[in-house]
Chain A
Amino acid sequence: AQSVTQLGSHVSVSEGALVLLRCNYSSSVPPYLFWYVQYPNQGLQLLLKYTTGATLVKGINGFEAEFKKSETSFHLTKPSAHMSDAAEYFCAVNILTGGGNKLTFGTGTQLKVEL
């Protein structure tokens, strides 16, 4: 069975600083990996995804993530944080099975951006 671990339930950065949100996964087959963002009282919005091919994937709002198979990681980064990035971020893994596909989520990281 697949699983996702997000290290750090709360991360605080200064505006303009590097954002690094950590995600490690466990999967017995090649995974498909996602990062979603959730703003207060809203649904989840897809930031980026890794399926196959290039291991560095770029997403919306200046975010990117790198798939590292040897480290079973898919960390999310952004070079310069903005106040509007404050939200909760979820890493998820998806494995296609005979029964379709379903996402397994990490427990989330709350990002706080300070002036």
Chain B
Amino acid sequence: NAGVMQNPRHLVRRRGQEARLRCSPMKGHSHVYWYRQLPEEGLKFMVYLQKENIIDESGMPKERFSAEFPKEGPSILRIQQVVRGDSAAYFCASSPGTGVLEQYFGPGTRLTVT
């Protein structure tokens, strides 16, 4: 059973460009979480999605960031007009259901904004 897949693993963008990060959850998992890890910090929750629904986006910056988890295909975290402060590692996690406490993490996408 393949784990959580994220791509790309490394992404370099110039200031003002758009970044698209993809996450394919584990087979059978319908819940996806995105976390951001800034240098020298722990992971911070960003958003929680189920298929076609955003359940909790309390950790998402109000502007430039959006997330989706369509009926078909991977979950996408989109950052528009990136700035240097967006440079971080972005991790996706998945779980099979609300009542299941464990979240399984992908390898992360390391975004560098130049």
Chain A residues at the B interface, C-beta cutoff of 8 Å: 4, 32, 34, 36, 41-46, 49, 51, 90, 94, 96, 99-108
- A15 CB, nearest partner CB in chain B, Å: 26
Q: Can you list, as one digit per residue, whether each of B77-114 has a CB less than 8 Å from chain A (1) or not (0)?
A: 00000000000000101010011011111111010000
What CA separation (Å) do A94 and B35 show in the bound complex?
14
Q: How many B residues touch the partner, as a band? A: 20 to 34
State which of A4, A45, A101, A106 has its C-beta within 8 Å of the C-beta of B105.
A45
Chain B residues at the A interface, C-beta cutoff of 8 Å: 4, 6, 31, 33, 35, 40-45, 48, 50, 55-56, 59, 91, 93, 95, 98-99, 101-108, 110
- Which residues of the other chain, A, contact B103 by a CB distance below 8 angstroms? 103
Closest 6 CB pairs of A and B: A105-B42, A43-B105, A99-B56, A44-B105, A107-B42, A43-B107
Given contacts A43-B105, A44-B105, is CB(A102)–CB(B33) below 8 Å?
yes
**Is the Cβ of A99 less than 8 Å from the Cβ of B55?**
yes
